[in-house]
């Protein structure tokens, strides 16, 4: 993403990295667990042709600060509200992948005046099921075992392998995205932030935070759900369940795709997202309808 450089802003005394490009209606892109704004490198330049696109590094991720503190979905949502305020962006279409999907839903719930539309991509927070590896990493002292699981020499050895496969014309964007996250976990500071974030949403039995009891509120916001049919981390059934729970939502299942549709099939992802943007109207900024949904019969 050399063409869209990382910028920095201080919020509450913490350095926040973000990428921003383009002009027009705003789109906020929220990455997943152990990811960064670079996760959107395949789609951000195209979207920036006719939109203002903002892709932050969440606190504890990428080039943002990694302090001790609150790594809950609510804290992330408040942080993004503050970032948009600092950047003078009043409203946006909110797009979240994996952990970012949970953050996106929380942002729309806490600050409904911000969300023009909601896009969930292989989102967390929609059911208990999650990969066994993430469950294991929530166990006590996991951060001290991780150097054995994620040794830096294996990370470094992967780079020439990737270059070799590239010369052979072998493309494996899903593996590349996983390796990007893997590389980050070889750093002590990143590991501790990762574990704090993970334990806020996952425990040894599965995902511990669910938005399912509040998804009816999303009916007030145009909603698109995108899922990789072969997602090994969060099962595609969660996408079907969310679609059923959100009246008027759209569901797009990408065949032969895993956890990163925007990386594995960027062209198709852009086509689906652009069609959604072009054929829906932003939710009104007036939150009176949201209030009515919260108090039926009152």
Q: How far is CA 261 from CA 122, 131, 197, 232, in A?
A: 8, 18, 23, 13
Identify the pLDDT of residue 209.
95
Identify the pLDDT of residue 170.
38
**Percent of the chain's residues with pLDDT above 90:** 70
Q: 59-95 pLDDT, tens per residue?
A: 999 999 999 889 999 999 999 999 999 999 999 999 9
Q: Give the active site residue among 42, 98, 123, 249.
A: 98
Max CA pair span of the chain: 65
Compute the radius of gyration of the chain from its Cα atoms. Answer: 18
Q: Give the active site residue among 36, 123, 231, 249.
A: 231
- Is the pLDDT reported for residue 56 higher than 60? yes
Q: Which residue has the higher pLDDT, 117 or 170?
A: 117
Based on the residue annotation, tell me whether 259 is a catalytic residue of this protein: yes
Other C-beta atoms closer than 10 Å to the C-beta of 279 total 9
Task: Decide if 67 contacts 10 (C-beta within 8 A).
Answer: no
Identify the pLDDT of residue 169.
46
Q: 143-175 pLDDT, tens per residue?
A: 776 665 555 544 454 444 444 434 544 344 555
Identify the pLDDT of residue 137.
87
Q: Which residue has the higher pLDDT, 234 or 175?
A: 234
Helices 173-184 and 152-167: angle between axes, nearest 10 degrees: 160
- Is the pLDDT reported for residue 256 higher than 60? yes
Q: Give CA–CA dist 172/170, Å, rounded.
A: 7
Identify the pLDDT of residue 182.
57
32-46, 126-140, 165-179: least confident range: 165-179
Q: Give the active site residue among 31, 51, 61, 259.
A: 259
Which CATH number is 7-130+209-294 given? 3.40.50.1820
Q: Give CA–CA dist 7/95, Å, rounded.
A: 20
**Percent of the chain's residues with pLDDT above 70:** 82
Identify the pLDDT of residue 146.
66
- Average the pLDDT over 43-70 and give the result: 96
The separation between the first and the last C-alpha atoms of the chain, rounded to the nearest angstrom, is: 50
Identify the pLDDT of residue 1.
47
- Average the pLDDT over 199-215 and give the result: 95
């Amino acid at each position: 993403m050399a063409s869209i450089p990382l910028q920095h802003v201080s919020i509450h005394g913490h350095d926040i990295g973000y990428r921003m490009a383009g002009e027009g209606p705003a789109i906020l892109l929220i990455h997943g667990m152990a990811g960064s704004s670079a996760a959107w490198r395949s789609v951000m330049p195209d979207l920036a042709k006719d939109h203002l696109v903002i892709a932050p590094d969440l606190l504890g991720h990428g080039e943002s600060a990694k302090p001790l503190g609150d790594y809950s979905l609510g804290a992330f949502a408040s942080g993004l509200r503050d970032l948009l305020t600092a950047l003078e962006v009043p409203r946006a279409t909110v797009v979240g992948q994996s952990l970012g999907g949970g953050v996106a839903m929380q942002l729309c719930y806490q600050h409904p005046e911000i969300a023009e539309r909601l896009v969930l991509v292989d989102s967390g927070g929609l059911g208990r099921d999650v990969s066994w590896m993430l469950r294991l990493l929530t166990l006590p002292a996991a951060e001290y075992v991780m150097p054995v699981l994620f040794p830096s020499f294996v990370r470094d050895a992967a780079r020439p392998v990737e270059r070799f496969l590239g010369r052979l014309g072998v493309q494996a964007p899903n593996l590349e995205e996983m390796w990007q996250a893997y590389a980050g976990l070889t750093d002590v500071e990143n590991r501790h932030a990762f574990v704090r974030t993970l334990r806020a949403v996952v425990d040894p039995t599965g995902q511990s935070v669910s938005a399912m009891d509040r998804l009816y509120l999303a009916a007030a916001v145009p909603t698109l759900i995108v899922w990789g049919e072969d997602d090994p981390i969060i099962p595609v059934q969660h996408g079907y369940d969310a679609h059923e729970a959100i009246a008027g939502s759209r569901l797009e299942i990408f065949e032969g795709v895993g956890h990163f549709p925007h990386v594995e099939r960027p062209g198709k992802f852009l086509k689906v997202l652009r069609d959604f943007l072009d054929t829906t109207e932003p939710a009104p900024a007036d939150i009176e309808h949201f209030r009515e949904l919260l108090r039926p019969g009152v």
